[in-house]
C-alpha cells in the first residue's frame, strides 16, 4: 500500500538458543496505514507484546529476530545501528506500556521524566523542556499541569499515571504510537477517558496507533482494522465492522461466543478447550487444530496457507466460514430473570447493616491520630441463599474492604454483619475460627494467594486441617482429588506446584481450596479480571454450576459489567465507601438512575461497532476517603449537581421492592 506507514514482512522472533527455541513470532505480515488504529487481538502468550517489542527492538537478552523485515516509512528498522535506532525509538515511534507504575521511575518527578524525553527527541529553539513538558501534561488532560510537573508517580492515580506515559510517548511527536494493553488495569471510567484521549490526539496529530488488547469491547470502540493473533502467527485480518459482523476463523468465533452477557444467563458460555500450544516446536498442521470444534484431517497434516479474500481481509484456515459465522447480539434481560432475582427475606443468609471501616491516620513522633480514612462508610446489603450479589465501582471505592470486613479479616469500626442469624462482629477466638468454614474468599491474583513451595494437595488440604474436618489423611486425599475433578482438573494435579499451571487452572485450584471446607458463602474478589476472555468463560461456567449444584451464595466484587450481567442476580454500585444504587441486574443495567451509575455504564465498551453509547465523562478523580466532600460524595464530579447536593447526604429512595437509589434528584 502506498499510504502504509509500518510494513512488516515474514517477521520471526525467537527466544533462547539450542535445538528448540521458543518461536514467539513465526512469520507474520502486517501493514498499518497513516492515521489509522490497527488492533492486535489474542490470548496471553500468543505473541502480541513480543511483536511490539520486536518493532521497537527492545527484546529481552534471550530474544533475537531471525528473519523478516520491518519498515517505518522508507526506513528499515532492522538495519539501523543502535545509536540511530534510539532516535527512532521515542522519536518517530512512541510506546505506552501495560503497567505505568513499573514503567515510571519512582524517584524522579513526572515532569523530569517527560522533560528527559523532550530533551532527547524534541529539543526545539525558543521553548524550554519544562515548558514543553507542561504543554504535554495539559494536552493529555491532567489538571493543574504546573503543579503536577513537580509530583512523583506515587502521588498520582492510575489514570493519571497512564496519561503521563502517553505524554512521554508523545514527547517525540511520533508518527506511530504503540499501546500495549494501555487500559487493562484501569476502571471503565478511566479506561473511557484514556481511549477518548488517544482518539483525540490521533485526530490532532494524524499519527497511526498499534493497539494491543484482548478486550473485544475496546476493539469495537477504537479499531479501524483488526488482526487476530494465535500461537505466534496472524490467523485473521479484517476491517473492524466486517470482523464483528462475521468473524471467519474458528478461533475468532470462539472468542465472541466466550463473552459473558445477559442474553447468555441461562446457558453455559462457550469454552475454548485446552490452552495455547507451547511454541518451542515446529508445527506440522494448524496450530489451533487441538482446540478447534471443526477440525478436519488435513488440519493436522499440513499448515493452512494465508487466504487473502480482499485487499483488507484474509484468514488462515481450511474452512470457508462466511456470513453464517455472525455472532448473536446482546439482548435484554427477560422478565423471568427479574422475578427470580428478588430477594427472599425469609431466606437471607447474609445481612450487613451500616458497616463502617475507618483506618486511623497517625502523624508526628507520638503517632497521634490526626484523622481517619473512611474506606467503608455505612454499607448495608443482603444476600439470600443461592444468590449472587455483585458489588461494582471504581478502584478505591471500598469494594474489597467490604468483603474483608464481612469475613472479619479486617475489624469493622461500626455496624453489624449477621450471617445465618449469628452476629459475626461479636465473635472472637475459637468461636470465630469455627465460623470460617462457612465463609470463604477467592482472591484476584491466584498465584499471589498460594504458597509456591506447597503442592496443590497441601494447599487445598490446609483449610481442612485448620478446621479439623475431612477425617484421616487418606480420606482428605480422596476429598482433594474429588474437589480437583469437581473444578475440572485431573486428580494428578494434586502432586504438582502452582507454577506448573496456567492462570485459569490456578484460579480453579483457588476455587477448590475455598470449597474444601464446605462454605455457604464465597466472596469472589475480581476472580476473572486478570484472565483472557476464553479462560474467564471457564471460571464463570464453573461458579454458576457450583451455585446450582451446592446452593452457594456469592458476593462478587468486580468492575466488569458483562460478568455482572451474566452471573449476578442483584447489583450494588459503590462510590467512596457507600452504596449509591442497588437493584436487580435488569433494573440497574437497563435503567440506571443514579448519575454515577449512568456514567459508569456509559463508559463500558460494547463488543459491537454499531452499539456504542454516548459516554458520560466524569471530571477529575474520586475524592480522598480521608477527606470526603460535604453532602453527596459524588457532587464534585456530578454533571447534574445542585446546591442542595453540597449540603446533605441524600437518603435512600425506594423505587421498587428490590431497588433503591441515594440521590436528591429522585426525592419527592
**Tens of pLDDT, residues 264-318:** 887 888 888 877 888 988 899 999 999 998 899 999 999 999 998 888 899 999 9
Q: Is residue 393 part of a domain?
A: no
* Domain, as residue range, for 135: 107-173
pLDDT band with cut points at 50, 70 and 90 for residue 635: very high
Kindly report, residue by residue over 512-533, the tens digit of the pLDDT: 999 999 999 999 998 887 678 8
pLDDT at 230 > cutoff 90 = yes
Same domain, 146 and 194: no
Q: Which three cell numbers stand for residue 380?
A: 448495608
Distance CA 289, CA 524 (A): 34
Same domain assignment for residues 143 and 191? no
Q: Report yes or no on 489 lying in a domain.
A: no
The answer to whether residues 257 and 169 belong to one domain is no
Band the pLDDT of 2: cuts 50, 70, 90: low
Residues 135 and 279 in one domain: no
Q: pLDDT digit string (tens) for 538-581?
A: 889 999 999 999 999 999 998 888 899 999 999 999 999 999 99
Alpha carbons 331 and 266: distance in angstroms, whole number: 13
C-alpha cell at 498: 502452582
The DSSP letter of residue 651 is P
Does residue 659 contact residue 585 with C-beta atoms inside 8 Å? no
- Contact predicate 619/630, CB 8 Å: no
302 lies in some domain: yes
Residues in the chain: 668
Q: Quote the pLDDT of residue 326.
A: 37
The more confidently predicted of residues 666 and 617 is 666
Q: Is residue 67 part of a domain?
A: yes
- More confident of the two residues 253 and 338: 253
CB of 590 closer than 8 Å to CB of 611: no
d(CA 202, CA 37): 9
Radius of gyration of the chain (CA): 26
Burial class (CB in 10 A: 0-12, 13-18, 19+), 394: buried
Residue 545 CB-density burial (10 A; 0-12 exposed, 13-18 middle, 19+ buried): middle
Is 290 found in the same domain as 247?
yes
- Summarize pLDDT for 387-441 with one digit per residue, the tens: 999 999 988 889 999 999 999 999 999 999 999 999 999 988 888 998 999 999 9
**For the residues 372-389, what does the mean pLDDT come to?**
94
With a cut of 50, say whether residue 209 has pLDDT above it. Answer: yes
Q: Return the DSSP state at 376.
A: E
Cα separation, 227 vs 502, whole angstroms: 24
Cα–Cα distance between 377 and 361 in angstroms, integer?
Answer: 16
Asked if 181 and 169 sit in the same domain, the reply is: no
pLDDT at 613: 62
* Residue 13 and residue 144 in one domain: no
Residues 55-95 pLDDT 10s: 999 999 999 999 999 999 999 999 999 999 988 998 899 99
Residue 551 resides in a domain: no
Q: Is the pLDDT of residue 187 over 80?
A: no
Domain boundary among 292, 325, 358: 325
Per-residue HEC secondary structure of 493-519 comes to HHHCCHHHCCHHHHHHHHHHHHHCCCC
What pLDDT, on the 0 to 100 scale, is given for residue 668?
Answer: 65
- pLDDT the model gives residue 503: 77
Task: Answer whether residue 261 shows pLDDT above 80.
Answer: yes
Of 307, 325, 343, the last residue of a domain is: 325
All cell numbers assigned to 371: 484523622
Mean pLDDT value across the chain: 88
Provide mean pLDDT across the span 489-493: 89
3-state secondary structure of 360: strand
Looking at the DSSP bridge assignments, the partners of residue 525 are 557
Looking only at the bridges linking them, the beta strands covering 63-72 and 4-15 are antiparallel
Strand order in the sheet with 348-363: 368-384, 348-363, 414-419, 422-423
Residue 446: per-residue pLDDT: 85
Please state which of the ranges 115-124, 162-171, 604-613, 620-629 shows the lowest mean pLDDT.
604-613
Q: What is the pLDDT of residue 415?
A: 96
Neighbour count for residue 313 (Cβ, 10 Å): 16
Asked whether residue 615 is assigned to any structural domain, the reply reads no
- Tell me how far apart the alpha carbons of residues 203 and 38 are, in angstroms, rounded to a whole number: 15
Q: Which pLDDT does position 340 carry in this prediction?
A: 41
Specify if 57 maps to a domain: yes
pLDDT tens digits along 448-483: 889 999 999 999 999 999 999 989 999 999 999 999
Percent of the chain clearing pLDDT 90 (strictly above): 58
181 and 166 fall within a common domain: no
Phi, psi of 582 (to 5 degrees): -145, 155
Closest CA to 161 of 226, 97, 239: 97
Residue 267 and residue 199 in one domain? yes
The residue ranking higher by pLDDT, 458 or 489, is 458
Q: Is the pLDDT of residue 321 over 60?
A: no
Q: Judge if 67 and 120 occupy the same domain.
A: no
CA-to-CA dists, residue 38 to 86, 314, 607, angstroms:
24, 15, 16
Domain tally for the chain? 2
Report the distance separating Cα 576 and Cα 635, nearest Å: 12
Q: Quick one: 128 and 211 in the same domain?
A: no
User: Which of 24-28, 157-161, 550-554 shows the lowest mean pLDDT across its residues?
Assistant: 157-161
CATH number of the domain bearing residue 278: 3.40.50.300
What sign does the CA torsion over 156, 160, 163, 167 have?
negative
67 with 190, same domain: the answer is: yes
Its pTM stands at: 0.83
For the chain, give the percent of residues with pLDDT over 70.
Answer: 94
Please check whether residue 414 lies inside any domain of the structure: no
Closest CA to 511 of 534, 535, 477, 488: 488
Residue 612 pLDDT grade (very low, low, confident, very high; cuts 50, 70, 90): low
Of 268, 293, 325, which residue is a domain's last?
325
pLDDT of residue 1: 44
378 closest CA partner among 399, 357, 362, 392: 357
Amino acid at each position: 500500500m502506498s499510504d502504509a506507514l509500518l510494513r512488516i514482512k515474514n517477521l520471526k522472533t525467537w527466544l533462547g538458543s539450542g535445538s528448540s527455541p521458543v518461536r514467539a513470532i513465526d512469520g507474520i505480515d502486517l501493514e498499518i496505514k497513516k492515521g489509522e488504529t490497527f488492533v492486535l487481538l489474542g490470548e496471553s502468550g500468543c505473541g502480541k507484546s513480543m511483536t511490539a517489542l520486536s518493532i521497537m527492538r527492545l527484546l529481552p537478552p534471550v530474544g533475537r529476530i531471525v528473519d523478516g523485515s520491518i519498515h517505518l516509512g522508507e526506513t528499515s528498522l532492522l538495519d539501523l545501528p543502535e545509536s540511530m535506532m534510539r532516535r527512532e525509538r521515542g522519536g518517530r515511534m512512541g510506546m505506552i506500556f501495560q503497567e505505568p507504575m513499573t514503567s515510571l521511575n519512582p524517584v524522579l518527578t513526572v515532569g523530569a521524566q517527560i522533560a528527559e524525553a523532550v530533551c532527547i527527541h524534541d529539543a526545539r529553539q525558543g521553548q524550554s523542556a519544562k515548558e514543553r513538558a507542561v504543554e504535554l501534561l495539559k494536552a493529555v488532560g491532567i489538571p493543574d499541569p504546573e503543579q503536577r510537573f513537580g509530583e512523583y508517580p506515587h502521588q498520582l492515580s492510575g489514570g493519571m499515571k497512564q496519561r503521563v506515559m502517553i505524554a512521554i510517548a508523545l514527547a517525540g511527536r511520533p508518527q506511530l504510537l504503540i499501546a500495549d494493553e494501555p487500559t487493562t488495569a484501569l476502571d471503565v471510567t478511566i479506561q473511557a477517558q484514556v481511549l477518548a484521549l488517544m482518539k483525540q490526539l490521533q485526530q490532532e496529530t494524524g499519527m497511526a496507533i498499534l493497539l494491543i488488547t484482548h478486550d473485544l469491547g475496546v476493539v469495537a470502540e477504537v479499531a479501524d482494522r483488526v488482526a487476530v493473533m494465535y500461537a505466534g502467527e496472524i490467523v485473521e485480518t479484517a476491517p473492524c465492522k466486517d470482523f464483528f459482523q462475521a468473524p471467519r476463523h474458528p478461533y475468532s468465533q470462539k472468542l465472541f461466543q466466550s463473552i459473558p452477557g445477559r442474553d447468555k444467563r441461562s446457558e453455559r458460555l462457550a469454552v475454548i478447550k485446552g490452552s495455547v500450544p507451547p511454541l518451542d516446536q515446529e508445527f506440522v498442521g494448524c496450530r489451533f487444530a487441538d482446540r478447534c470444534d471443526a477440525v478436519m484431517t488435513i488440519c493436522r497434516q499440513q499448515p493452512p496457507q494465508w487466504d487473502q479474500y480482499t485487499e483488507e481481509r484474509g484468514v488462515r484456515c481450511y474452512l470457508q466460514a462466511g456470513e453464517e459465522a455472525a455472532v448473536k447480539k446482546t439482548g435484554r434481560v427477560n422478565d423471568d430473570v427479574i422475578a427470580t432475582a428478588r430477594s427472599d427475606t425469609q431466606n437471607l443468609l447474609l445481612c450487613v447493616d451500616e458497616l463502617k471501616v475507618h483506618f486511623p491516620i497517625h502523624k508526628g513522633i507520638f503517632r497521634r491520630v490526626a484523622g481517619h480514612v473512611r474506606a467503608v462508610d455505612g454499607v448495608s446489603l443482603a444476600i439470600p441463599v443461592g444468590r449472587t450479589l455483585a458489588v461494582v465501582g471504581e478502584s478505591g471505592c471500598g469494594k474489597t474492604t467490604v468483603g474483608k470486613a464481612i469475613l472479619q479479616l479486617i475489624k469493622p469500626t461500626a455496624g453489624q454483619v449477621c450471617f445465618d442469624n449469628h452476629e459475626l462482629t461479636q465473635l472472637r477466638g475459637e468461636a470465630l475460627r469455627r465460623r470460617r468454614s462457612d465463609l470463604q474468599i477467592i482472591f484476584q491474583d491466584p498465584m499471589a494467594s498460594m504458597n509456591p513451595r506447597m503442592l496443590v494437595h497441601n494447599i487445598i488440604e490446609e483449610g481442612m486441617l485448620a478446621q479439623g474436618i475431612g477425617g484421616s489423611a487418606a480420606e482428605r486425599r480422596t476429598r482433594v482429588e474429588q474437589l480437583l475433578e469437581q473444578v475440572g482438573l485431573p486428580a494428578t494435579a494434586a502432586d504438582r506446584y502452582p507454577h506448573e499451571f496456567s492462570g485459569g487452572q490456578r484460579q480453579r485450584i483457588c476455587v477448590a481450596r475455598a470449597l474444601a471446607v464446605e462454605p455457604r458463602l464465597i466472596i469472589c474478589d475480581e476472580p476473572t479480571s486478570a484472565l483472557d476472555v476464553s479462560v474467564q468463560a471457564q471460571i464463570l461456567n464453573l461458579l454458576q454450576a457450583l451455585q446450582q449444584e451446592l446452593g452457594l451464595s456469592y458476593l462478587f466484587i468486580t468492575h466488569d459489567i458483562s460478568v455482572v450481567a451474566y452471573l449476578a442476580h442483584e447489583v450494588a454500585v459503590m462510590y467512596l465507601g457507600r452504596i449509591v444504587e442497588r437493584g436487580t441486574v435488569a433494573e440497574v443495567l437497563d435503567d440506571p438512575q443514579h448519575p454515577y451509575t449512568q456514567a459508569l455504564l456509559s463508559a463500558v465498551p460494547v463488543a459491537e461497532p454499531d452499539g456504542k453509547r454516548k459516554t458520560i465523562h466524569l471530571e477529575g478523580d474520586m475524592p480522598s476517603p480521608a477527606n470526603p466532600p460535604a453532602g453527596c460524595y459524588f457532587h464534585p464530579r456530578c454533571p447534574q449537581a445542585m446546591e442542595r447536593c453540597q449540603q446533605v447526604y441524600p437518603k435512600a429512595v425506594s423505587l421498587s421492592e428490590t431497588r433503591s437509589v441515594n440521590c436528591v434528584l429522585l426525592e419527592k
